[in-house]
Chains A and B, each alone.
Chain A
Amino acid sequence: MRFSARHTLLPAALFFALALAAACGGGNGGSETGLSGSIDIDGSSTVFPITQAVAEEFRKTQNKVQVPVGVSGTGGGFKRFVTGETVINDASRPIKPSEVEAAKANGIEFIELEVALDGVAIVTNSQATFVDCLTVAELRTIWAPGSKVNNWNQVRSSFPDAPLRLYGPGTDSGTFDYFTEVINGTEDASRADYTASEDDNVLVQGISGDRSSLGYFGYAFYAENSARIRLLGVDAGKGCVKPTRETINTGTYAPLSRHLYIYVNKKSLERPEVKAFVEFYLKEASILAEEVGYVALPASDYQAGLSKIR
């Protein structure tokens, strides 16, 4: 009997020991200025790299403040933000009226802060040299709900007779929300028969391997893969403009340059560590946003943000 009891105990003991060893693994040093606490952030995976960079730098000055950052998507993050579960939400689009309502119902007040600019890049395969530029109207023809366009010559008669295969982000993406709103006129209204992925790297791979492809995703992903795919300009009536740091910054890459935001729970700003973090965010965002592939706002915009939280 003694024998068999040990049989069942041993494996359990082993895993407990593992977990215990794991628990003792980490640990931080002391802090210099004494702020502590936890700042819970969730939201857009597009804004995530900026917030991660800020949190990483912030930790070097305030190592007792924990800043866990999640990537539930802009909408998924807002669901948690409006119940007060998180104090900051990363957003690649402005908050929707329905989300404002939900926040109000829960007594949550918030402040919207612009942190960077991003362009939505229209890209095709590097061999599709016949196209340099598409007009907003042509993009609408292609992407409108129920659109049957499946050949390049249906887009413009001078284009060759070649099948047109489409790639784009999935419906949970803020990029999808934004693109459908400014191109198709209604948010989330889009044809559905395209290759959709929430992972922009999958789109890059699809487009670079498909000679007849057209797709859209965040400019940062184009910038990292510029050798493999072809960037198109967009003509909104004022001539063809390609997204670059400059055209996105000045807003001439219209209508596909957009703001990236963080939403801060107003009440949480009473906590010194949250206030310190948000101030740090606005002061460092111009450098850190550029570092991770986005375009910084004009300095005055960050100043405006700082005065909003003071």
Chain B
Amino acid sequence: MSAQSPGGSIRTERSARARYRAIRGGVFYALFLGSILVGIAGLLALLIDVFMDGLPWLNWSFITSYPSRHANQSGILAALVGSMWVVGLTAAFSIPVGLATAVYLEEFAARNWLQRVIQVNIANLAGVPSIIYGLLGLAVFVQLLSMGRSVLAGALTMSLLVLPIVIIASQEAIRAVPGSYRHAAYALGATRWQVVKGVVLPQAIPGVMSGIILALSRAIGESAPMIAISALVFLTFVPNSPGDKFTVLPIQIFNWISLPQADFKGVASAGIIVLLAVLLTMNAGAIWIRNKYQKRRNE
């Protein structure tokens, strides 16, 4: 169309279109920037609010004390250690099982109806509300297998909850490893297991770590399934073995918020800061590991 017009007209038409494109680009840029700012502003407001309420209550004795009826003597030790136990054991259970499942489904399983059924089920399990897992854990681990309301029962329940996340993320990571790598290894005479162990897994680790970060972050913040397993909010000891009673950070924080005394809102905020700190430390650790492997891979 423009080829038929004289030269000058082409130039104006082009610049008009360019201007239109520039405006459209600008509008969408502003829209997307706005979207991300909404999220960041929300997070900032939340953080500022929590820190203003909580910082005055946050000190070393808060970390090392047990709960108390006096706000200024209250501490979070039992819940902090309980959460670490649960998350540690959850990681120990869910990572090997989740990774092995992902490897099986991606590298070993035949592409048949069974594999599809398993796949659909895992995807659905990822969307099941967490309280359902809590009730399942209560019925199976606490009562049927008579583990009692122990750290072990809590961690196993949490493992079931996060397994689908670990599996799906690991599968994605494994799928992202280029097929040509596998072919090259097979061409050199490697067995299937050698390919998985020596080629696929090392390549997939960074992606797998991202999934684990997500899964364990969820595990440490979940309160509903833990309330079904253990609704303890006053504990003056820390668990010393997987068979001990326990409480976790979200339950303790929830209890403080529901107390009538206004001071406990500050204590609860201090608890939230501790929870955030644990979460960020865990994530930083996992990101550090991920980056280390990514670098090695690129060398």
Contact = CB atoms under 8 A, between A and B. Distances in A.
A24 B143 CA distance: 29
A70 B233 contact: yes
B201 A8 contact: yes
B257 A199 contact: yes
A215 to B, nearest CB: 15
B249 interface: no
A26 B197 CA distance: 40
Nearest to B67: A52
Contact of B84 (A19, A51, A69, A70): A19
Interface stretch (B30-38, B39-47, B236-244): B236-244
Interface stretch (B8-16, B90-98, B105-113, B117-125): B90-98
Given A14-B289, A68-B235, A69-B233, A56 B91 contact: no
Given A8-B205, A11-B212, A23-B239, A69 B260 contact: no
A12 B231 contact: no
Interface string A38-55: 100010010011011101
A52 B235 CA distance: 9
A71 interface: yes
A68 B245 contact: yes
Interface string A1-24: 101110110111011101111110
Given A7-B205, A16-B92, A70 B236 contact: no
B234 A12 contact: no
A12 B286 contact: no
Contact of A49 (B69, B80, B84, B88): B69
Contact of B95 (A11, A48, A198): A11
A23 B198 CA distance: 35
Given A18-B88, A68-B245, A225-B260, A59 B81 contact: no
Contact of B258 (A7, A15, A45, A53): A45
Contacts of B173: none
Q: Which of B67, B240, B257, B258 is the most central at the interface, judged by chain A CB atoms within 10 Å of its CB?
A: B258
B237 A71 contact: no
A7 B293 contact: yes
B201 A4 contact: yes
Contacts of A66: 236-237
Contacts of B161: none
B134 to A, nearest CB: 13
B230 interface: yes
**Which secondary structure dominates chain B's binding surface?**
helix
B69 A11 contact: no
Contacts of A199: 257-258
A21 B285 CA distance: 15
Nearest to B265: A201
Interface string B238-264: 111100010000000001011111100
Interface string A185-205: 000000000000011110000
A161 interface: no
A21 B255 CA distance: 26
Nearest to A18: B88
A297 interface: no
Given A7-B201, A12-B92, A55 B84 contact: no
A19 B85 contact: yes
A220 B3 CA distance: 84
Contact of A52 (B69, B96, B209): B69
A55 B234 contact: yes
A28 interface: yes
A68 B91 contact: no
B64 to A, nearest CB: 8
A23 B78 CA distance: 11
Given A7-B201, A12-B96, A23 B69 contact: no
B202 interface: yes
A29 interface: no
B95 A23 contact: no
B232 interface: yes
B81 A201 contact: no
B69 A291 contact: yes
Contacts of A32: none
A20 B92 CA distance: 12
B158 to A, nearest CB: 13
Interface string B61-103: 0000001110000000110110011011101100110010000
Contacts of B202: 3-4, 7
A26 B255 CA distance: 22
B91 A25 contact: no
Q: Which of A71, A199, A224 is the most central at the interface, judged by chain B CB atoms within 10 Å of its CB?
A: A71
Closest 4 CB pairs of A and B: A19-B88, A26-B238, A22-B84, A69-B234
Interface of A: 1, 3-5, 7-8, 10-12, 14-16, 18-23, 25-28, 38, 42, 45, 48-49, 51-53, 55-56, 59, 66-72, 76, 198-201, 218, 220-221, 223-225, 288, 291-293
23 contacts: A7-B202, A11-B212, A12-B92, A14-B285, A15-B88, A15-B91, A15-B216, A19-B88, A20-B88, A22-B88, A25-B238, A26-B81, A48-B233, A52-B234, A56-B234, A69-B232, A70-B232, A71-B255, A198-B258, A199-B257, A201-B260, A288-B69, A293-B260
Given A49-B259, A218-B260, A288-B69, 15 more contacts: A15-B88, A15-B91, A19-B84, A22-B80, A22-B84, A22-B85, A25-B81, A52-B69, A68-B235, A68-B236, A69-B233, A70-B232, A71-B233, A199-B257, A201-B258
